[in-house]
Amino acid sequence: MKNDRRRLLLAAGAVLAQAALPGAARALAADTTVETQQPGALRIAVYADFPPYSARGKGVDVALGKALAEKLGLRAEFVEFPPGEDMGDDLRNMVWRGHYLGTRPGDLMLHVPVDARFAAQHDKVKIFGPYHLETMAIARNPARVPPVAGSAAVGLEVFTREAIGAEVDTHASDFLLHVLNGRLREQVRHFRSLAEAVEAMRRGEVAAVMGTHTELQGALGGEGNFALDRLTLPEMRASQWPIGMAVKADAGPLADALAGALAELQRSGALARLYAEHGLSLNTP
């Protein structure tokens, strides 16, 4: 079973918050050269097998990495890596030290939670540049499941009768198994991926799927037979969190250049277009 990079929610769910770290948003002067491991190249670490963000050289994180590198006048070079046991492993392996099996770290890692307390626990990296606000969501068959609203006791009551899918070892799975003192446990169906869970919903085996909004949106592929609702249940300890970037703690000039490049992509609307091209909705932090 693969470790799930969304497990950062299980480890740090209590500290993930909407507030982003303060970070430089200025671009470097045009005649300033940033230092990278290989001159002329920006090595970018992204998660493997993580659609619609990054998978086999495609995904919106890959597109963002290419756009950032282009803004800096560098060639984008990607390393896709499987998640470790927790986010600290990923930051160590792919940002500040490298993997013990010999994989070099990246100059930049994408899809890092941007939270001040989380960052304080990892002082060997600089976390900055929130570019998307991820949220928990439910994809549902509207003929079987009404909109989920209010408290869990009200909004999730339908799942005492209807089956709901979730990816194994994720925040959604953990929440569904324990909310309401475990009353929904018998109706929770586990899958190896959200894509498999959505396929089960298409076959009618489950009435809904819980997961992150962006992953569910990617798995649905614009299909109009199902509803997709963001969740704001008060019982859910982490329902949204900003994702951003990380570099080594001493790579201040590179962080400044990347923050400036990101600000330009946001200001021009290019980042929103990248998400739209992948069938996704950008949710600005």
**DSSP conformation letters of the chain:** ----GGGHHHHHTTT--SPPPP---PPPPTT-----SSTTEEEEEEESSBTTTBBTTBSHHHHHHHHHHHHTT-EEEEEEE---SSHHHHHIIIIIS--TTSPPPPSEEEEEE--HHHHHT-TTEEEEEEEEEEEEEEEE-TTT-----SSHHHHTGGGGTS-EEEETTSHHHHHHHHGGGGTTGGGEEEESSHHHHHHHHHTTS-SEEEEEHHHHHHHHTT-TTSEEEE---TT-S-SEEEEEEEEETT-HHHHHHHHHHHHHHHHHTHHHHHHHHTT------
What is the phi/psi pair of residue 130, to 5°? Answer: -60, 130
Res 3: pLDDT: 43
Q: Is the pLDDT of residue 166 over 70?
A: yes
Task: Collect all residues with Cβ–Cβ distance below 8 Å to 141 and sequence separation of at least 6.
Answer: 201, 204, 207, 208, 225, 226
What mean pLDDT value characterizes the chain? 88
Rounded mean pLDDT, 101-115: 89
Amino acid, res. 162:
E
pLDDT tier for residue 71 given thresholds of 50, 70 and 90: very high
Q: What is the CATH topology of the domain spanning 135-230? A: D-Maltodextrin-Binding Protein; domain 2 (3.40.190)
pLDDT for 99 equals 74
CATH assignment, 5-133+240-277: 3.40.190.10
CATH 3.40.190.10 domain position(s) in the chain: 5-133+240-277, 135-230
Confidence category of residue 101, pLDDT binned at 50, 70, 90: low
Cβ 60 vs Cβ 131: under 8 Å: no
Greatest mean pLDDT range, 32-41, 68-77, 115-124, 223-232 = 68-77
Give me the residue label for tokens 């018998």: 186
Question: Quick one: what percent of the chain has pLDDT higher than 70?
Answer: 88
Average pLDDT of the segment spanning 38-67: 96
Please check the confidence at residue 100 and state whether its pLDDT lies above 60. yes
**pLDDT category of residue 32 using cuts at 50, 70 and 90:** low
Whether pLDDT at 17 is above 60: no
Of 211 and 149, the one with more pLDDT: 211
Given pLDDT bands bounded at 50, 70 and 90, which one contains residue 102?
Answer: low
Section 86-90 average pLDDT: 87
